[in-house]
Amino acid sequence: MSDREYPARPIVGIGVIVLKDDSVLLVRRGKPPNVGSWTLPGGAQEVGETSEQAARRELLEETGIVAGPLLFAAHVDNIRRDREGRVQFHYTILDFAARWESGDPVAATDVSEAVWAPLSRLQDYALWSEAYRVIDIARSLLAA
């Protein structure tokens, strides 16, 4: 069991929606929760770093990508219960939107793949419903 399972309080998670042309950066998770699932890059905020520092660190560590200015896009509550109804995972996720600045996606740390996914084919990645929602918000924010 990881130190993130059955937490005493919610864990602050950070997600980054990076857009490049008509694509969004996605990663395949290599660790629980959601092993093998496609999602947005991100991870847990560390003590002593701002949410924006955490977003940039996680993005670079997981994918090698550098993003431009970050805009707060949305928050997501991810609460997962075990069979007995106990909270097994509890993340409050802060999602940031950004445009790609440099780098090619290379999977590292706790992801097994990193790709530019065409926005027109996101259904191929079977994302969590909240991921589709925050991607739409990011597209609106970055279009302005």
End-to-end CA distance of the chain: 44
Report residue 100: phi and psi, to 5°. Answer: -60, 140
The number of angstroms, rounded, from the C-alpha of 100 to the middle of its chain's C-alpha atoms is: 15
109 CB burial (10 A radius; 0-12, 13-18, 19+)? middle
> In 3D, which of 67, 65, 74, 128 has the Cα closest to residue 96?
74
- In whole angstroms, give the CA distance from residue 67 to residue 4: 27
| Choice among 5, 52, 61, 113 that is catalytic | 113
Q: Any catalytic annotation for residue 113?
A: yes
Catalytic residues, which ones?
Answer: 113
